[in-house]
Amino acid sequence: MKSVEEIKAAIEAAVPGAGVTIVPNSSPSGENSLLIDAQHAFAAAKFLHDDGELALDFLSNVTGVDWLDKETTEKVKVTKQVPKEVDGVQTMVDETVEETRKSVEPGYLEAVYHLFSVAKKHGPVIFRVRTQNRTNGVELPSMTPIWRGAEFQEREVFDLYGIVFVGHPDLRRILMWDGFKDHPMRKDYVEPDDFEYEPTAHDKVLERHKQQLEKVQA
């Protein structure tokens, strides 16, 4: 099978303007994946499916990943002009001050597709697609028109992560009930407070039990 670099080049040749980045995987399996920009993802996926040499006709897995906003703090040395009295004369002197700067890298949701070829007996080829953010820009193109097997798995990703797949024929919740509002696999999901009992409750658990007991008795 072609290497990830070769597949990247092939996609870029076949789909003009497609932004493909290799996401390295340093584990022993070394399964590097391709990050494709959402706009060209459908065309690129179609190429992966239709290309005679790759012939990735089998979609084995679709999953989601929730990447939270990443807050980075870095210490920067800044040189400032500071007024200072030197030998009785007011002058401006350069002074190096350490400042901490915070920057927030916005989070996003990611859909990961694992592809194999039954015809050529090779794989997997892994590609990822990322949403703009985690709140209002959560649309991604659906791969169901290419691989029919994506239908239920994309529904599951929609249910648990809240990624909206545009072009999906029947995007409904699949595991949770219809009136459910949350997306439980998101990292900031708050689960319902139906905690009740541990057989050997102690410390924090016992504390929570007491709180719950008060709530129930009230």
**Residue with smaller CB distance to another protein, 86 or 190:** 190
CB of 63 to another protein, least distance (A): 18
CA angle, corner 15, sides to 14 and 17, nearest 5? 135
Select the residue interacting with another protein from 120, 182, 186, 208 (CB under 8 A).
Answer: 182
Q: Which stretch binds another protein (CB under 8 A): 10-18, 51-59, 149-157, 206-214?
A: 206-214
Contact 131, 140 (CB under 8 A): yes
Total residues contacting another protein (rule CB under 8 A)? Answer: 21
Select the residue interacting with another protein from 76, 104, 216, 218 (CB under 8 A).
Answer: 216
Give phi and psi for 108, each to the nearest 5: -155, 165
CA angle, corner 126, sides to 15 and 43, nearest 5? 20
How far, in Å, CA of 5 to CA of 23, rounded? 11
Q: Which amino acid is at 83?
A: P
191 binds another protein (CB under 8 A): yes
Q: Given the rule CB under 8 A, which residues bind another protein?
A: 175-182, 184, 189, 191-192, 194, 196-197, 201, 206, 209, 212-213, 216
